[in-house]
Amino acid sequence: MMKDRRTIIYTVIVVALLFAPLYLNRYWVDVLNSVGLYAILGLSLNIILGYGGMFHMGHAAFYAVGAYTTAIISTRYGVPVLWLMPLSGFLAALFALIVARPIIHLRGDYLLIVTIGMVEIVRIALINDVFGITGGANGIFGIPRPEIFGYKIRLPHQFYYLIFAFAAVTVYLFRRLENSRFGRALTYLREDEVAAEGSGINTARYKLMAFVLGAFWAGMVGTIFASKMTIVSPASFSFWESVVMFMVVILGGAGAIPGVILGSFLVVGLPELFRGFANTRMLIFGAAMVLMMIFRTQGILPPRPREYPIEDEPEPASESEVSS
Amino acid sequence: MSILTLKKVTKTFGGLTAVDNVSFDLDEGVVMGLIGPNGAGKTTVFNLITGNYTPDHGEIVFEGKAIQGWLTHRIVELGIARTFQTIRLFQNLSVLENVLAGSHCRTKSGAISAMLRTRRQREEEKKALELALKQLEFVGLRPYAKHLSKNLSYGNQRLLEIARALASNPRLLILDEPAGGMNEQETENLIGLIRKMRDEGMTILLIEHDMGLVMEICDHIVVIEYGLKIAEGGPADIKENPRVIEAYLGTEDEDEEGGETASAETMAGSE
């Protein structure tokens, strides 16, 4: 019964999103574009933070590596931007592999601090025009628009379909990932690292893999972001950016795909709705976050247990009641 | 034929020597008990074998391979599985998923094949599921497969730890106080289970304070006190061994001072 209701709700949402550009003006479509980008970023962070339980607050660094890769290569060598998606993802993943390797053994708040340091170092390196290719504080201009079969994507509603198609693919793939040996391994190490290692799981490797995969996806989102804005600058990849992604995951429900998407709507979309309240909107938003953390610590839509194709067997005429 | 050999293994924590030059041989297909008073270093010995700690000196040889200093997951892969004294289940996951954790090292598919859901991945998943159900059936927890593990009774949580360990298909199973918190009936059931595992050819090493259980199922017993091995032998020898009786009951002098008059069995019960 519950399942049917969920199916109906999801169907309604998908249909509403499918036709959204038809009844929304450009401004709101653009807001939805941001929501979509953050949803994908949130989903990629969710692998690290949600499934793996690693407090990683430097995700913007991977996003930046992807965006800058696209910006540099497309402006210098004229490579079509969408072709650069895999490469941007790959370089972001490589970057994650290098920087995460020495820090993954850190736990909880220690990891948090180090990842904050990481994202700041990346931002400062970009400002300082590292290798002379990042354009310093001004960033890089004139990134070309994406093209699909000669069809140029320029307007918000065109980007809308690109972003949401990518989001749909992401959800589809990550759902499978969640319900797999890989997804389970991350959940085990979140639940109890010692027990996971003791059960034969190479915890260090899985932590690293989570970072690599999360970074790969964030890097690909970076490509879309760069071509949507046509400009990238260090200001877009501040620590605050990481905090927003972190909030998207935690608020919506760490480890739950629908939760993360909802989180993105709330964290990125809601403040736009409250624009009328001008300065007080962040105050209201902050208060809402605090209340949430008090009354629903696991997020608004926490993950539901995985389902397996096994039959129920009746419990024995309860031995446990006799024995307790 | 010995499956596991400890050669003069020593582990110190700061000034404390938790395990002091301990050596023993564990023969294949045997149930061995490791006993001793609280704080004697039994669990430390287990942690050394399973790679949670690295010994300061000495060698740990499993099936001809020196494994001291290996990472835990590699030791599990090699064929040694364990349960924990303080139950360490994945509390918020289902009973079934807890067992699936054990089969992790016997399966291969990674992130990409999961996303593409290749045929091999699906088949592997199906097989892992069947195997996990078989282990649950074996320990008698099949009806609880979908329950959250934290909702199981204490005794059943211990059984689930065994099922999870078994899912990694070990040749040596290490049980750290498997009967802790179990009532008599559950302990009986556990004894039957341990016998069945031994009959299937598994070697079992266990720490247990329930002397009744130890004397009933162990073929061989090693006793340690303050990190030192003080005795070794069959259950009958150990019961008679004056050094062991002393370790558990104290000497005459201590007896008067501490007023410890409990027998080995009742002491064990109170722990």
- In this prediction, the answer to ipTM > 0.90 reads no
Chain B residues whose CB is inside 8 A of the A177 CB are 111, 114-115
Classify residue B204 by burial, with Cβ atoms within 10 Å: 0-12, 13-18, 19+. Answer: buried
Which residues does residue B9 pair with via DSSP β-bridges, in sequence order? B22
Residues of chain A whose C-beta is under 8 A from some C-beta in B?
Answer: 173-174, 176-177, 180-185, 187-188, 191-192, 194-204, 209, 213, 305-306, 308-310, 312-316, 319-320, 323-324
The whole-number pLDDT of residue A304 equals 87
- Report B:207-236 residues touching A (Cβ under 8 A): none
The whole-number pLDDT of residue A77 equals 92
- Choice among A232-241, A305-314, B194-203 with the minimum mean pLDDT: A305-314
Chain A residues whose CB is inside 8 A of the B121 CB are 180-181
CB contact under 8 A, B90 and A192: yes
Chain B residues whose CB is inside 8 A of the A197 CB are 71-73
Q: What is the pLDDT along chain B (271 residues), one digit of tens a residue?
A: 799 999 999 999 998 999 999 999 999 999 999 999 888 899 999 999 999 999 999 999 999 999 999 999 999 999 999 999 999 999 999 999 999 999 999 998 888 999 999 999 999 999 999 999 999 999 999 999 999 999 999 999 999 999 999 999 999 999 999 998 899 999 999 999 999 999 999 999 999 988 889 999 999 999 999 999 999 999 999 988 888 888 887 766 544 444 444 444 444 444 3
B146 touches chain A (CB under 8 A): yes
Extract the tokens encoding B239.
Answer: 């019961």
Q: Give yes or no for a contact between A59 and A217, defined as CB atoms under 8 angstroms apart.
A: no
The whole-number pLDDT of residue B257 equals 44
Q: What is the largest CA-CA distance in chain A?
A: 76
CB contact under 8 A, B143 and A209: no
Q: Which of B111, B133, B165 sits opposite A310 (nearest CB)?
A: B133
Chain B residues whose CB is inside 8 A of the A324 CB are 153
Statement: residue A100 has pLDDT above 50: yes
Q: Which of A188, A209, A312 sits opposite B101 (nearest CB)?
A: A188
Q: What is the mean pLDDT of residues A25-51?
A: 95
CA-based nearest residue to B172, from B34, B22, B57, B21: B34
Alpha-carbon distances of A60 from A70, A125, A182, rounded to whole Å: 15, 14, 24
Q: Which of A198, A306, A316 sits opposite B50 (nearest CB)?
A: A198
Predicted confidence band of residue A316 (pLDDT cuts 50, 70, 90) = low
Average pLDDT, chain A: 90
CB contact under 8 A, A194 and B88: yes
Distance of CA A168 to the CA centre of its chain: 13
Domain residue spans of chain A? 40-237
Tens digit of each residue's pLDDT (9 = 90 or more) over A109-168 = 999 999 999 999 999 999 998 888 888 889 999 999 998 888 888 888 899 999 999 999
The whole-number pLDDT of residue A278 equals 65
Burial B81-111 (b: 16+ CB within 10 A, else e): bbbbeebbbbebbbbbbbbbbbbbbbeebeb
pTM of structure: 0.90
Within 8 A by CB and 6+ apart from A231, the residues are: A139, A140, A141, A142, A143
Chain A residues whose CB is inside 8 A of the B186 CB are 323
Q: Which of B115, B125, B156 sits opposite A173 (nearest CB)?
A: B115
Statement: residue A9 has pLDDT above 70: yes
Chain B residues whose CB is inside 8 A of the A308 CB are 96, 129
Chain B residues whose CB is inside 8 A of the A305 CB are 93-94, 148
Extract the tokens encoding B53.
Answer: 């700690």
Tens digit of each residue's pLDDT (9 = 90 or more) over A66-94 = 999 999 999 999 899 999 999 999 999 99
Q: Give yes or no for a contact between B51 and B60, defined as CB atoms under 8 angstroms apart.
A: no
Mutate to test the interface with A, among B76, B80, B90, B125 (most CBs of A within 10 A): B90
Rounded CA gap, A230 and A194, in Å? Answer: 47
Chain A residues whose CB is inside 8 A of the B91 CB are 191-192
Statement: residue A273 has pLDDT above 90: no
Chain A residues whose CB is inside 8 A of the B155 CB are 323
Rounded CA gap, B149 and B94, in Å? Answer: 5
Rounded CA gap, A245 and A41, in Å? Answer: 7
Mutate to test the interface with A, among B43, B71, B97 (most CBs of A within 10 A): B97
CB contact under 8 A, B104 and A313: no
Rounded CA gap, B19 and B34, in Å? Answer: 13
Q: Which of B96, B101, B186 sits opposite A310 (nearest CB)?
A: B96
CB contact under 8 A, A180 and B96: no
How many cross-chain Cβ pairs, A to B, lie less than 8 Å apart? 127
- Report B:65-124 residues touching A (Cβ under 8 A): 71-73, 76-77, 81-82, 84, 88-94, 96-97, 100-102, 104-107, 109-111, 114-115, 117, 121, 124
Within 8 A by CB and 6+ apart from A311, the residues are: none
- Choice among A25-29, A266-270, B164-168 with the minimum mean pLDDT: A266-270
The whole-number pLDDT of residue B269 equals 43
Rounded CA gap, B22 and B15, in Å? Answer: 18
- What secondary structure does DSSP assign to A310-323, as a single string? ----PPPS-HHHHH
Chain A residues whose CB is inside 8 A of the B81 CB are 199-200
